[in-house]
Amino acid sequence: MPSPGARRSSWANGSRCEPGSSSRRRASSCSCPAGGALSSRRLSQPFAAVALRSLMAVDLWLSRRLGVCAAEDSLLGGIRPLVKLLELSAHRTPWVSSAVYLLLTSRTAEEQELIINLLMALLLDHILVRVVKAFIRYHSSEMFATLPPHPRYSFPSGHATRAAMCACFLHARLLLDAPVRALLLVWAALMGLSQVLLGQHNVSGVTLALAMGYCQYRLVERCWVPIDWLQDIVLTVLGSSQVTLKDSETETMMRQVTPND
Model pLDDT for residues 58-89, shown as the tens digit of each residue: 888 988 888 888 888 888 888 999 999 999 99
- Residue 12 confidence (pLDDT): 47
- Residue 120 confidence (pLDDT): 94
- Residue 123 confidence (pLDDT): 95
Instruction: Say which of 126, 139, 150, 159 is annotated catalytic.
Output: 159
Picking from 99, 110, 92, the residue whose alpha carbon sits closest to that of residue 224 is 110
179-197 pLDDT, tens digit per residue, is 899 999 999 999 999 999 9
- Residue 66 confidence (pLDDT): 87
The model carries a pTM of: 0.67
Instruction: Say which of 91, 126, 150, 201 is annotated catalytic.
Output: 201
Q: Is residue 80 within 8 Å of residue 146, measured between CB atoms?
A: no
228-241 pLDDT, tens digit per residue, is 887 777 667 766 55
- Residue 4 confidence (pLDDT): 52
Mean pLDDT, residues 120-133 taken together: 92
- Residue 242 confidence (pLDDT): 54
Q: Where are the alpha helices (DSSP H) in 141-226?
A: 158-173, 178-197, 203-222
Q: Which tops the pLDDT comparison, 156 or 86?
A: 86
* CA distance linking residue 48 with residue 31, whole number of Å: 30
Q: Active-site residue 201, yes or no?
A: yes
- Residue 78 confidence (pLDDT): 87
- Going by pLDDT thresholds of 50, 70 and 90, the confidence category of residue 136 is confident
Q: Which tops the pLDDT comparison, 260 or 202?
A: 202
89-114 pLDDT, tens digit per residue, is 999 999 999 999 999 998 888 899 99
* CA distance linking residue 248 with residue 78, whole number of Å: 66
